[in-house]
Amino acid sequence: MDLLSDILGHLRLKGTLYFRTSFTSPWGVIVPPYENVARFHFVHKGRCFVRVEHHDTPVFLEQGDLIIITRGASHTLYCDPATEDQALKLDEVVEKSGFSGQGALVYGEQGTNQETQLVCGHFAFDKRASHPLIHALPAFIHIRNYGEAAGSWMENTLKIIGQEAGRDNLGSDLIALKLSEIIFAQALRTYLSEEGMNQAVLAGFADPSIAKVLQAIHAQPEFAWTLEELALISGSSRTSFVTKFSTSLAMTPFEYITQWRMQIARQQLEESTLPIIDVAESVGYHSEAAFSRVFKKHFQTGPATYRRAQRTIL
């Protein structure tokens, strides 16, 4: 499995569409904050502004643009700066529109040709999952003309989502939902190859030599990696590799390996009945005691206690 897919798989990425809109001027919607999700809005038709909480400058979205609010912050979608202060809370808009959850959310004055169609949804993550790539993302990602930036196949996918979301046709919601799960991975790939290349931590995933090392670590997290082996994969000397890796990802190679191993172990403890020693060995520890010490350092509780607590929650 490729690096990004492996990371998102362990984060349990799951896309959810909440509606397709047909907003006509004047309109404005205040979207409340939500934990452990990344909200997204794709402009299928028209244009609008987005003001993300704690950011002074609004983002202007044109047809074909995508914005992902990476940590679910509150934000306001609106058609005109002159009427931004008239925006209503999402619950009020839903109530006034009579939206039942079927079809499009239609809101605004009738008869106007200033229509904005949005495909809105969110990407949920396991609240216990963690990864430096996700933590390093900015508060929002704005990709202009997303379909073109991601490739013609994504442009066609977005058109299908826009056409299917909220329709009454058999299977429409499922089709749109499954296609939406592609958006986040492709958006990250696009962002990492452009703006992310110059940002701390993200630069490491965009750098080809560092990415090769990360790919190797993810392919064999249980392997007893040495600096010499990792440096050889990167194509550089040991000193150069350690310096570049640590500068790019803001952590040493072994700190990254340990963090990733603990995420795999956490997931196995939650989802399997494997003995703890088997979980330990699957992530490179041949001593249950050594594994337990590292696990407790990361999660403030031992693996056996952690497993019991998660089973109680479930």
Are the CB atoms for 144 and 62 separated by under 8 Å? yes
Question: What's the token pair of residue 91?
Answer: 């619950």
Contacts of 44 (CB under 8 A, 6+ apart): 20, 63, 117, 118, 119, 158, 159, 162
Q: Specify the long-range contacts of residues 241-244, CB closer than 8 Å, at least 24 apart.
A: 241/213, 244/207, 244/209, 244/210
What pLDDT, on a 0 to 100 scale, did the predictor assign at position 174? 59
In order along its 314 residues, the chain shows pLDDT tens digits of: 578 888 888 888 777 767 788 999 889 999 999 888 889 998 988 999 999 999 989 999 999 899 999 988 999 999 999 989 999 999 999 999 888 777 788 888 776 768 999 988 888 888 788 888 888 889 999 988 876 655 565 666 666 665 655 555 545 555 556 666 677 888 888 888 887 777 878 888 888 999 999 999 999 999 999 999 999 999 999 999 999 999 999 999 999 999 999 999 999 999 899 999 999 999 999 999 999 999 999 999 999 999 998 877 65
> CA torsion 198→203→207→210, rounded to 10°?
150
What pLDDT, on a 0 to 100 scale, did the predictor assign at position 292? 97
What pLDDT, on a 0 to 100 scale, did the predictor assign at position 175? 59
Are the CB atoms for 303 and 269 separated by under 8 Å? yes
Task: Please report the domains of the chain, with CATH numbers, ordered by start residue.
Answer: 3-198 (2.60.120.280), 207-313 (1.10.10.60)
What pLDDT, on a 0 to 100 scale, did the predictor assign at position 233? 97
Say what the pTM is. 0.82
